[in-house]
Amino acid sequence: MLPGVTGDAVLATIREKNQTPIIVLTAVADKEKTVELLKLGANDYVVKPFNNDELLARIDIWLRHKNAESVTKLTFRDIVLDVEKIKAYVANSEIQLSKREFGILECMMRNPKKVFTKNNLYETVWQEHFMGDDNTINVHISNLRNKLAKINPDVDYIKTVWGIGFKMSD
């Protein structure tokens, strides 16, 4: 019921060019029309009159969903982590990482400017309470550094912040 163009046409035009989530606000409560809108590319719909809180909740859901999709690949310098496929690449060469090494690198790449204590890394990656065994994290960081250096020996990717922990090098 838009002036000069149908909502279906607007939806189709947007969907051709963009995959941004679309929530249709419609006065039509007909289920056949709703199914048609969803098949045309709408992600959700709300029938008028609508509750503002419900609309805001639906928007929040789609933004969370979109943000979750957007972080399936992490990049720092020439390192790429494909979180979905659990694969790591340095300078376009795949490297084999253990589950823990991948988890440590993923944690640090999600927040490359943050300094992570050994406690932070252990509890995030192992999902257990840190019992104070510094050597576990040190060994994994050392292995990570060695594997990264095999591909690109001139770059220091992980920086030690003495007395605190580790971060991605600037």
My answer on whether 79 and 156 are in the same domain is: yes
Q: Is the pLDDT of residue 73 over 70?
A: yes
pLDDT at 45: 87
- Quick one: 124 and 80 in the same domain? yes
What value does the mean pLDDT take over residues 138-153? 96
Using the 3D structure, point to which of 51, 70, 89 is the last residue of a domain.
Answer: 70
CA atoms within a 13 Å half-sphere pointing along the CA-CB vector of 132: 0
> Are both 63 and 78 inside the same structural domain?
no
HEC sequence for 116-137: EEHHHHHHHHCCCCCCCCHHHH
pLDDT for position 98: 96
At residue 149, what is the residue type?
A
Closest CA to 142 of 81, 101, 96: 101
Cα separation, 40 vs 91, whole angstroms: 40
- 2 falls within a domain: no
Q: Are residues 81 and 63 in the same domain?
A: no
Task: Indicate whether 112 pLDDT > 80.
Answer: yes
Residue 59 and residue 76: Cα distance in Å, rounded? 30
Same domain, yes or no, for 54 and 108? no
Domain count, the chain: 2
Quick one: 81 and 156 in the same domain? Answer: yes
Residue range(s) defining the domain that contains residue 25: 7-70
Q: Are residues 46 and 83 in the same domain?
A: no
Collect all residues with Cβ–Cβ distance below 8 Å to 57 and sequence separation of at least 6: none
The Cα diameter of the chain in Å comes to 69
Residue 16 or residue 143, greater confidence: 143
Q: Token digits for 120?
A: 């932070």
**What is the rounded average pLDDT for all residues in the chain?**
88
Residue 80 sits in the same domain as residue 157: yes
**pLDDT, mean of residues 19-35:** 85
Same domain, 91 and 141: yes
Q: Quick one: tokens of 69? A: 């999709």
Tens digits of per-residue pLDDT, 78-105?
999 998 899 999 999 999 999 999 999 9
